Amino acid sequence: MAHKFEIYKDKAGEYRVRFKYNSEVIFATEGYTAKASAQNAIDSIKKNGPEAPTEDIS
């Protein structure tokens, strides 16, 4: 698969989500104290992302 979400634990012990495309990190989230919160972030991105508008500020 060329793209995926990863939940990982950072050095501070918080859970974070990163989205990778072809092994390159495209974005990462803030830290969460609960793993379930990291999963909720993924679910929210999947649900709301396709409808998010594109803003060209160039």
All domains in the chain, ordered by first residue: 3-51 (3.30.160.160)
- In contact, 35 and 15? CB cutoff 8 Å: yes
Element at 45 (helix H, strand E): helix 35-48
Q: What is the pLDDT of residue 50?
A: 87
Residue 40 in tokens = 């909720």
Instruction: Answer yes or no: are the C-beta atoms of 20 and 2 closer than 8 Å.
Output: no
pLDDT at 11 over 80: yes
| pTM score of the predicted model | 0.83
Q: For residue 9, what pLDDT band results from cuts at 50, 70 and 90?
A: very high
Q: Would you say how long the chain is, in residues?
A: 58
* pLDDT tens per residue across span 16-51: 999 999 999 999 999 999 999 999 999 999 999 888
pLDDT at 2: 86
